Every structure is written in C-alpha cells, then in structure tokens.
Structure 1
Amino acid sequence: MSSVLYDAQGPRAKRRNVLYTVVFLLAAAALGWWVFQTLSDKGQLDWEKWKPFFSGSEAWTTYILPGLWNTLIAAALSMVIALPLGAVFGIARLSDHAWIRVPAGVIVEFFRAIPVLILMIFGLALFAEYTNVGSDDRPLYAVVTGLVLYNASVLAEIVRAGILSLPKGQTEAAQAIGLRKTQTMTSILLPQAVTAMLPAIVSQLVVIVKDTALGGAILTFPDLLAAVSPMSSYYGANTIASFTIVALIFVLLNFALTSFASWLERRLRSGKKSTGAVLPPAAVGGTESAGTAA
C-alpha cells in the first residue's frame, strides 16, 4: 500500500528501521545511565541535596516563591501590554493607507529582528540614563520593555496572518451590505480569526514566560531562575536539585497556560456552532395554512 507522500516499506526497510530503533534506544539508555552514574558519583543525587525542597518550607518561602512571584508579575505585565499592542500593529499593517501601513511594518520588522536580550539591556540603560526609576525596579522595567517590544512585533505578524487566512468572501460580503472597513474588522474578521490564531498566540505567551529567565540570568532581575544561585549556595551546592525544581515549575506554568488555551479554544469553537433551533409542527402548519388561504 502506498501513500501520497511515500511508498509502503518493504521487508528490508522494516527490518532496518527496527534495527535503528533498537540501536537508538540502547544508546539513549546508555547515555541516561552515564548521566545518572556521574551525578551519583558527584553526590548530586544524595538526599541531603533534595531534602530542602521536600522536608520544609524554608526553601520555598525564602527563595522559590518570591522568585516565582516576580516571574509571574513580569510575564503578566508583558502579556497585558504586548497582546493589544500586537493586535493594533497587526491590523495597522493591513491598512489601505500607506502612511499607516508602512511605518507599522517598519516598526514590526525592526523589533522582530532584534534579540530580546539586547532589547532588555537597552531598556536597562535607557531607564538608568533618562528616568528616575530606582535601581531596584529597573530590572523589572527592562525585562517588561524587552518582552513587550519583541513579542508585540511577533504577535502583530500572527494577527496579520490570522486575518489574511480568512476567505476573501467574508470581506466582500461585508462590503456588499455596506459595512465600513472598521466594522468589518471588529465585527466579522477578528472574531473569526481569534480561534485560528489562538494556538500561535499561546505559543508566544509561553515564550514570554520562559524569556523572563533572561532577566534573571543577565540583568539581576530576582526571578525564579535567579533564585537558583543563592539557594544552591545556602544548601550546600545542590545546583542540580535547584535547577530541576525550577525547571519543573516552568513546565507546570506553561502546561497550565496551554491547558487553559485549549479549553478556551474548545469553548470558542463550540460557541460558534449553530444552535440548530427547530420550529414546532404547529408553527409550520400555521404557515402552510396561511399560504393556502392566501
């Protein structure tokens, strides 16, 4: 049996693929054993290294939870600002007026091409030189500024692509009934495009959550990642344990975000389905009688 993309495998190809699979699994198992043995020899798997996270609340209340709170604040502020800003620039790029479309395109392409870390460093220098923001608050401002500038430009492209993916008949039908372009965009195109854009938007929100760690690594922003160094030093160089706990927290955060987005997408799709209302027989009979009488 063959497919549009490939032909069905023959006996030799099947045996070869089974061999490759076995070799890969053995290599992966050997690598995993080597990593486990190395960590064990270094004492990183000793209970004393992991005990602070499971036998008390000091590590959580002193290091992890404050860092997690700062991470959530930076991510939430960035999302709240970047989402509407990206929508505005995405719609502006579709404008019929060149004086709106061209500057919006230049801004989006410019900030989309610059690494987010450079934008954070630039923001830190900017707030230090030209504002009265205190030194304690500058890292937060710089992280949010970098995340907003970069992710708003990416979200703008997502919005533009989502709107362009809709059939042209939607716009033509709106024009036929006399709707202005603003009414067409807000009442017809955007509501339909939101469902199509949602997976890409959520992926970008996950990027925002993860990129807050750049501020902790470079800008001394006291986020979840920045809590690893003092925590590891205080509890006897349990670096592997600290990084593992922080990584698991990031995984849970992003999993919760994607799960919520999946639930929201299902609700949006189900809300757009027809109600399928059926007229009662009496109403149909009444209509037929009226037509006969006429």
Structure 2
Amino acid sequence: MTTALYDVPGPKTKRRHLFYGIGSTVVILALIGWIIYLLFDTGQFTAQKWSPFEYKGIQELLLRGLGNTLKAFAYAAVLSLALGGVLAAGRLSEFRLVRWVCTLLVEFFRAMPVLVMIFFIYVALKVEPLPSLVAGLTLYNGSVLAEVFRTGIKSVERGQGEAAYSLGMRKTQVMRHVLVPQALRAMLPTIISQLVVALKDTSLGYLITYEEFLHAGKLIASNLDYGLPFIPVVMIISPIYIGMCMLLSWLANWVSKRQKRNPKVESAEVGAPEPGTLLPGAGRPKE
C-alpha cells in the first residue's frame, strides 16, 4: 500500500522503527541520569547551595533583575521595530540618496557586533547602562528587521502592487492596504525570532553593570558564603529565559490566528474590486 509521497512501512520496518525509538529513548534517559548523577556527586543539590533562594532579599534581587530585563527588552523591541520600519521604507524609497543612506546604515549595523556597539556607547559616549544597552540592541536588531520587512514586502507578487497603482492608489496606500497585510504573515515568524534574539541579548547588560536578570544571578553565584552556587543559579534562571522565549512564540501564534480571522486582512488579500468600487483615497471617476 502506498501514498502519493512515500511507501507505507511494512511490519518489519515498523518493528525496526520501534526498536530505534526505544533505543534512542534509553540513550537519552541514560544521558539525563548520568548528568543528574554528576550533579549529585559534585554536591550541587546540597542545602548550602540552595539556601540563598529562601531569603527574601535574594528573591527580591532576582525579581528586580527580571523586571530590568523585561524593561530593557520592551524598550529595545519597540524601538527596533520602529527603526526597522523606517530603514525598510528608506530602502524601498524612490529617491536614490535615501536608498543609499539607509542601505549603508543597515549593512553597517548588521555587520557590527552588538557587544561592541553597547561598549562603545557606554564607554566612549559615557551613556548610562540602560540607554547604552537599549541603543545597542536597537541599532543591531532594527537593521536586521529592516531587511526582514523589505524582503517580506518584496516577496508579495509584483502584480498586486501594479494593480493597486493602476487603480489610482498612492504608494503609502499600496503599502498599507495591499502589500504590508499580505507580507505580515510571512514576516511574523522571523520577526518573533529576532525579538527572541533581542530578549536573550539583554543578558549582555551585566557586562556594563546593568542590573538585569543575569547580573543578579551572577551576584548570587559568586557568593562564597553559599559555596558558589553557580549550577543552582543556572537551574533557576535558564527555565525563566526559556519560558519567556516560549511566551513570545505563543504570542506570535496567537497574533497569526487573529490575523486569519480578521476580515480587514482577508479583504486586503482580495484581487480586483467589483466595478464601481472606490478604494480608500481614490477619487471618483470622471464623467
């Protein structure tokens, strides 16, 4: 029995796949067990190493660091999206000078390591830690998102824009009503992926003494009074970072589903309008 794509596995193949699955599961469980054994063997689960998390001051330190991380990410995310939109519009501009300047900015900030930009702003320009971190993240992620936006808009079928122009729509109207709504669905996963990168890169703030989440964990992990609880701190901080990234992914899926149910987006994807229909901003036909 076959399908259009592949042959349905027979009894022998199914048994072989079952054997592979059981073998892989055993190997993974053995690896996890070996890691847990090493953690116990090196005393990572002793009461001394986990006792700091019982104190209110340590809990407040972690919560304050988490709040600072979210604050830096919120600023960087909003500004990166705005900067990316501006640079993408510039790269799509009809004016050669504007395109040249925006292309130069995008290529420069994409090639520059984000840590170098953060250090330059903090040390050379003597800016406070939070603005330095946000500025570095904004310049880098904004330039990357500019290419995401430009590529997404360019991926829309060329005839869509040409048809809109032939109906008398201006360029801003073509972008807002035709190209951007269709490109947004294709761009959304990449946009969220880049925002996840920005969220993780907020941890670079500890290098310029910004009191974010990783900086708070570093203070706890380097405490000699608790036996340098580095591994316990990692086991506390890592799931929180992973959870925040998963929350962003869930938000992307939610927005995507809302878009599919949005009648405005659906109407933007419709081809030619009915005869006599006036599009937004288009004048009435001459007598």
**Is the pair's TM-score, using the shorter chain for normalization, greater than 0.5?**
yes
Aligned to 2:166: 176
Q: Which residue of 2 aligns with 1:220?
A: 209
How big is the shift at 1:50? Answer: 2.9
Number of aligned residue pairs: give it.
262
Q: What is the CA RMSD across the aligned residues, in angstroms?
A: 2.3
Q: 1:127–1:142: 8 Å Cα contact kept in structure 2? A: no
Shift of 1:191: 2.9
- In structure 2, what is the Cα distance between the partners aligned to 1:208 and 1:183? 31
Alpha-carbon offset, residue 15 of structure 1: 6.0
> What do residues 44-63 of structure 1 show as CA deviations (whole Å, max 9, x unaligned)?
1224433443x4533211x2
SS in structure 1 at match of 2:34: helix
Q: 2:62 corresponds to which letter in structure 1?
A: I
| 1:166 corresponds to | 156
> Residue 77 of structure 1: CA displacement?
1.2
Which stretch shifts more, 7-16 or 260-269?
A: 7-16
Contact kept? 2:51, 2:226, Cα under 8 Å: no
Tell me how far apart the structure 2 counterparts of residues 269 and 23 of structure 1 sit (CA, whole Å): 42
- Residue 28 of structure 1: aligned partner: 28
Q: Which structure 2 segments of 5+ residues have no match?
A: 268-287
Q: Is the 8 A contact 1:86 1:154 kept in 2?
A: yes
Query: Which of 263, 266, 279 pairs up with 2:257?
Result: 266
Percentage of pairs with the same residue: 41
Larger Rg: 1
How is 1:111-130 mapped onto 2 (pairs within 5 angstroms)? 111-128=109-126
With over 3 angstroms needed to count, the CA separation of the structure-2 counterparts of 1:48 and 1:3, relative to structure 1, is farther
Instruction: Mark the runs of 5 or more structure 1 residues left unpaired by the alignment.
Output: 275-294
SS at match of 2:214: coil
1:73-112 to structure 2, matched below 5 A, reads: 73-112=71-110
1:227 counterpart SS class: helix
> 3-state SS of the aligned residue for 2:43?
coil
Shift of 1:22: 4.2
Q: CA deviation at 1:11?
A: 7.2
TM-score under structure 2 length normalisation: 0.81
Amino acid across the alignment from 1:74: A
1:143 aligns with 2:109: no
- Whether the 8 Å CA contact 1:78–1:148 is kept in 2: the answer is yes
* 1:57 and 2:56 are equivalent in the alignment: yes
Deviations, residues 20-68 of structure 1 (Å, cap 9, x unaligned)? 4444333322322221111101111224433443x4533211x201111
Paired letter, 1:42 = T
